[in-house]
Amino acid sequence: MSRFLFVVPPLTGHVNPAVGIAGELVGRGHQVAVAAHASVVGPLLPPDLPLIALPGDLPTAERDEIERRGRALRGPASLKFLWEDFLVPLGDAMVGPVDAAVDDFRPDVLVVDQQAIGAALVGRRRGMPWATLATTSAELDDPYAVLAGVGEWVSDRLDDFSDSHGVPRGGSDLRFSDHLTLICSIAALLRTHDHPDHYAFVGAAAGWRRPAPDFPWAALDPGRETVLISLGTVVREIGGRFLQAAAEAAGLLADRVQAVIVAPPGLIVDPPPNVLVREYVPQMELLERVGGVVSHAGNNTVCESLSRGVPLVVAPVRDDQPIIAEQVVRAGAGERVRFGRATPAALARAIDAVLDPAGTYRAAALRLRDDFATAGGVGAAADRLEKLS
């Protein structure tokens, strides 16, 4: 049996795929640990997955301030903020502690989230087997096709980061391991199709999740189509206007639609009778029961939905979300609406369209379901990591 050390950033959407793959390796008898910031990542880990706590957790007020500043930014400004104010400082803070964790845990393979560039640098500097875990396919989908200067700017930031830690600049990209890059998506969603053999598209990396509170399954009306409306763990905190509009849209479709909206208590005012509002839901189980999903185009939700043949209405906000939304639309598996301007009427039209049983959206989602099944999910990812060890 082998030893695997996963390194993940303090971002919930990046934790769940790592936990899914790590859990699969644990089930096969391997020794696995996760190096991460305890305050964010610790509560998301199963009891049998050891946590190596990294120092330097940001105080809650400072994390809130970073998030507040990032909310107002879009496009290149948002990307610059992400790298200069979050990813590079996080990478600097990770290098020493991850080095120490490798000394202590002695992994055969280091599995590094694509945004944990400090851990990638440790793997490269040590010359040890390491794999990239790309929890979104955005960086592989030619994201800078119309903004070549932005791509060069990111490459320069990575070179500066490497140089500052004693690794010669100009080497291979820290975002993509030369040994193995696991991509949580399928190649069919990308516009680019020429990928090296060590790039493995594993589909939806769905595995263990923190147990959700009891869900009122009996409240779901079998005579109406269920729609899940979720903006993820971060975006939903700024999505009050959108979620209110989505609730009203569901009300307009009350004769044939029931909505489950993921939102904090009190965020939605006077939800219609056909709208069930829950702070947390068992998403994986719920996706087996829904006919459509309204989402901010977070990669996890998109891939988990399509892996079950469920079409989407996508309302991207920032970061990789516009690229993932474009993938959904390009594949014909959903409609895109504007996050900041979507009205109840517009959302109702989009939801009605993706739920049409004779429409093209559902047919496209069902085709993609087969591609996700072939990709293999956490089992395929574990297979590739075992070969690397």
User: ∠ CA 219-225-229 to the nearest 5 degrees?
Assistant: 80
Percentage with pLDDT > 90 across the chain: 68
Co-location of 237 and 310 in the same domain: yes
Co-location of 78 and 221 in the same domain: no
Domain CATH number, residue 157: 3.40.50.2000
Q: What average pLDDT is seen over the chain?
A: 89
Contacts for 188-194: CB closer than 8 Å, 24+ residues apart: 188/331, 188/368, 188/371, 189/137, 189/141, 189/327, 189/328, 189/330, 189/331, 189/368, 190/137, 190/140, 190/141, 190/327, 191/141, 191/142, 191/330, 192/140, 192/141, 192/142
Query: Helix, strand, or coil here: 266?
Result: coil
Co-location of 166 and 22 in the same domain: yes
Co-location of 167 and 57 in the same domain: yes
Residue 193: inside a domain, yes or no? no
Interatomic CA distance for residues 372 and 140, integer angstroms: 18
> Does position 61 have pLDDT exceeding 70, yes or no?
no
Residue 361: inside a domain, yes or no? yes
Co-location of 179 and 221 in the same domain: no
Residue 368: inside a domain, yes or no? yes
For the segment 26-39, what is each residue's pLDDT rounded down to a tens digit? 999 999 999 999 88
- Cβ pair 71, 296 in contact under 8 A: no
| Tokens at 290, concatenated | 């829904």
As to burial, measured by CB atoms within 10 angstroms (0-12 exposed, 13-18 middle, 19+ buried), residue 148 is exposed
Interatomic CA distance for residues 228 and 75, integer angstroms: 28
For the segment 69-101, what is each residue's pLDDT rounded down to a tens digit? 555 545 667 777 778 888 899 999 999 999 999
What pLDDT is stored for residue 192 in this prediction? 81
- Cβ pair 109, 130 in contact under 8 A: yes
Co-location of 171 and 36 in the same domain: yes
> Does position 129 have pLDDT exceeding 70, yes or no?
yes
Residue 289: inside a domain, yes or no? yes
What pLDDT is stored for residue 227 in this prediction? 98
Co-location of 168 and 229 in the same domain: no
Of 277, 257, 248, which Cα lies nearest the Cα of 347?
248
Burial 159-192 (b: 16+ CB within 10 A, else e): bebbeebeeeeeeebbbbbeebbbbbbbebbbee
Q: What mean pLDDT is predicted for residues 172-179? A: 91
Co-location of 158 and 271 in the same domain: no
Q: What mean pLDDT is predicted for residues 272-280? A: 94
Global confidence as pTM: 0.91
Co-location of 221 and 179 in the same domain: no
| Tokens at 275, concatenated | 């709208």
Interatomic CA distance for residues 15 and 12, integer angstroms: 5
> Does position 67 have pLDDT exceeding 90, yes or no?
no
Residue 211: inside a domain, yes or no? no
275-278 and 292-295 strand pairing: unpaired
Q: What mean pLDDT is predicted for residues 96-111? A: 97
What pLDDT is stored for residue 265 in this prediction? 87
109-113 and 51-53 strand pairing: unpaired
For the segment 313-357, what is each residue's pLDDT rounded down to a tens digit? 999 988 889 999 999 999 999 999 999 899 999 999 999 999 998
Domain count, the chain: 2
Residue 54: inside a domain, yes or no? yes
Interatomic CA distance for residues 211 and 208, integer angstroms: 9
> Does position 236 have pLDDT exceeding 60, yes or no?
no
What pLDDT is stored for residue 76 in this prediction? 67
Co-location of 69 and 174 in the same domain: yes
Unique residue bearing structure tokens 């390009």: 330
Residue 206: inside a domain, yes or no? no
> Does position 217 have pLDDT exceeding 70, yes or no?
yes
Structural domain containing residue 365:
217-373
As to burial, measured by CB atoms within 10 angstroms (0-12 exposed, 13-18 middle, 19+ buried), residue 389 is middle
Residue 310: inside a domain, yes or no? yes
Residues in Cβ contact with 104 at an 8 Å cutoff, skipping those fewer than 6 apart: 52
Q: What mean pLDDT is predicted for residues 178-188? A: 96
Q: What mean pLDDT is predicted for residues 43-71? A: 70
Co-location of 39 and 157 in the same domain: yes
Flag the least confident range among 13-17, 199-203, 291-295, 368-372. Answer: 13-17
Co-location of 277 and 174 in the same domain: no
Q: Of 183, 209, 226, which one is at a domain's C-terminal end?
A: 183
Q: What mean pLDDT is predicted for residues 292-307? A: 96
What pLDDT is stored for residue 193 in this prediction? 81
Interatomic CA distance for residues 314 and 295, integer angstroms: 5
